[in-house]
Amino acid sequence: MDTRLFNDVLALLDEGNFSRAAARRNITQPAFSRRIRSFEDWVGIPLLERKTNRIALHPTLAANEAEIRATILRIEALRARLRDGKTGAGRLVIATQHALATSVMPDALVALHNIEPDLTTRLRTMNREDCLSFFVRGDADILMIYEARGFPPLPFDDSIGRRTWMRDTLVPVCGGALRHRLLADRTPKDPFPLIQYPPDSHFGRLVTRHLGAENVGEHSEHVSVETAYSVACLRLAEAGLGVAWVPHSLCLRQIASGDLVNLGSHYGQIALDVSLFFSVQNLGAQRILSRL
């Protein structure tokens, strides 16, 4: 398999035209056509619909464009490791959520580099669903995400290992002027505005399930801001824009200093696990996690 053919296919997807794609790849159109036929021979099915004056791309090419790009990146990374004489143990890719990258990951990386001083870690931060897709595609050695304790675990099979890194809690907090609208027992004397996660996000679903979809309005005056980012929720709560549900690991310093008030006694709290996932075939990741 000539791996350059993957780049030929991507050029064709990007340009949608044989002559432009051939020019982009700096070869003649007939030579480019032969290389695309070689790719079709390797796959085993026709990927182009050839008609008079028109060539249509098979839908499966566009549907798998992201995987083609990821495959090229993995091949290039492997080639770089082979050229450098590395075994692959010197580089670790970790996919994690934005909130964990800010709160938990710094201490985790310190522990990691204490036992592997020469390790190069590549940290990829994204939302939870994208983290899962990135890991399942094989683009990350380790996945670190939040799981709600007491709920069904992610449906991985035996090929994926799981470890619990630490316990955490999703807590409701308020700050700014709202702190002065609390009663002596630190409960709101009237409904506060709510800083809300999108309803289809992981934390959004957890908060809605915890409060009860029909009772959310009873707990809040109105929704002041909606954002998918926990760090943004934290800052907005500090500014007094409403009650935000934030991982305790992300806001413990602000609670200790008094800049935020934990309203868990009034709204309740949501138990979380910070979970690590890895492929059981990834011996390097297993070795590192066993040492941690």
Query: C-alpha distances in angstroms, 291 versus 116, 124, 161, 266?
Result: 9, 22, 15, 41
- Residue 270: pLDDT above 90? yes
On whether both 151 and 277 belong to a single domain, the answer is: yes
In a domain, 133, yes or no: yes
Q: Which of 37, 68, 99 is the last residue of a domain?
A: 68
* CATH label of the domain that carries residue 22: 1.10.10.10
Residue 20 belongs to domain spanning: 4-68
- Residue 286: pLDDT above 90? no
On whether both 159 and 172 belong to a single domain, the answer is: no
Q: What is the pLDDT of residue 77?
A: 67
Q: What is the pTM of this model?
A: 0.67
Q: What is the pLDDT of residue 24?
A: 86
- Residue 89: pLDDT above 70? no
Q: What is the pLDDT of residue 250?
A: 94
How many beta carbons lie within 10 A of that of residue 112, not counting itself? Answer: 20
105 CB burial (10 A radius; 0-12, 13-18, 19+): buried
The total domain count for the chain is 3
On whether both 103 and 148 belong to a single domain, the answer is: yes
Helix (H) or strand (E) holding 196: strand 192-196
On whether both 179 and 266 belong to a single domain, the answer is: yes
Q: What is the pLDDT of residue 244?
A: 95
Range of weakest confidence among 31-35, 94-98, 217-221: 217-221
Summarize the confidence of residues 205-213 as an average pLDDT. 83
Summarize the confidence of residues 2-21 as an average pLDDT. 84
Summarize the confidence of residues 161-171 as an average pLDDT. 94
* CATH label of the domain that carries residue 122: 3.40.190.10
Res. 247 pLDDT band, cuts 50 70 90: very high
On whether both 60 and 195 belong to a single domain, the answer is: no
On whether both 189 and 234 belong to a single domain, the answer is: yes
Q: Go through 128-146 and write b for each residue having 16 or more CB atoms within 10 A of its CB, e for each that does not.
A: beebbebbeeebbbbbbbb
